[in-house]
Copies of this chain bind each other. A is one copy, B any other.
């Protein structure tokens, strides 16, 4: 491993992981030449690295975007799971159809109606192992090596990992406080297509973007789809947080009025339970068959028991009431984080004020690299994710992501208080 690639890795990897890579690289093996070209592009995710560290007792983790499951009715869910296995175990524990059960696909159409999509049909829904798998399948079905995928910057690190595993050329389009900037998107598309590039889709998280918390403004949404349609580019819309808006009604998804141009991805990970790994794609009718077959080739079928548990939850529980609970809970936590940032953070910092979701995005002065600050923060008893994890480029980043979803308000305040001197020291060192 060269020093250039090591430095690049340092932008997203903790020291232990880099040590392990170096050790592995020094013992070259005769199988090394068997790896596919794409394998070299599959990198460790900084979010996942920090996953283990975050579990250390005493640390305040503002790193992982886990939902707060304590508010779920666990006793009742336990009875529901028991009933499914006792009464329907021969179905729940057996293979099922590759597209997912018809019952759950029908219910998912109701969930999407709450999200603002009123014309979804069960036959165009493909249930996947979390929406991560839905992204993987979309990339598999559409992208040859060298094709271009457009993303907003910053964007979800898991999606970047997926795209890079298919040797796709990822091109980042800047956001402002209202999300993707249509003019910049249009100009970038024109430049890339003029250069002969094959752009396959735009990947976007329009509501409470992970990691920035930014929401794409309503008046830009149709503009974005129209720009893509004119250029013959699909939109891959990822909307795991859409129902978790703190106030008011959800903004209509890009998919809402554009059934032929948008592959819409949803998930039960943020509104119910990520440990079940149940997500879905709503696929335009003319693309459904190939999408479905590719999904089947990856996992055969989604887990039946998990689908039946989600179905029972949507059928027999007040799932909309639970979402109201979550909205209030996350709004309170977001408020606690913003208040703590206001109180403790030094001058020279700015941060986003999300309308929903799990994340606040903090910007430090130019010249600060947040990656080396992670270890100092851990020493100070708090964990965050450095901004470079959410960028396609390997350059240092002066941003960082703070998650407020999984931590009670008092702990959020304490975490921000611990983080403040680490950031202040870094800013002072610039002068």
Contact = CB atoms under 8 A, between A and B. Distances in A.
Contacts of A191: none
Contacts of A273: 93-94
A129 B299 contact: yes
Range of interface residues on chain A? 35 or more
Contacts of A66: 94-95
A34 B303 contact: no
B69 A275 contact: no
A29 interface: yes
Contacts of A284: 31
A90 B77 contact: no
Contacts of A85: 74, 77-78, 81
B39 A294 contact: yes
Interface string A133-164: 10010001111110100000000001001100
A136 B403 CA distance: 33
Given A31-B284, A300-B130, A275 B234 contact: no
Contacts of A95: 51, 64, 66, 269, 274-275
A207 interface: no
A102 to B, nearest CB: 11
Interface string A7-45: 000000000000011001001011101111111001111
Contact of A31 (B34, B77, B129, B287): B287
A96 interface: yes
A141 B298 contact: no
A89 B284 CA distance: 36
A276 interface: yes
Interface string A199-216: 011000000000000000
Contacts of A20: 289
Interface in A269-323: 269, 273-277, 284, 286-287, 289-290, 293-294, 296-306
B293 A44 contact: yes
Given A72-B93, A93-B72, A31 B303 contact: no
Contacts of A370: none
A95 B89 CA distance: 25
Given A72-B89, A82-B81, A297-B136, A276 B289 contact: no
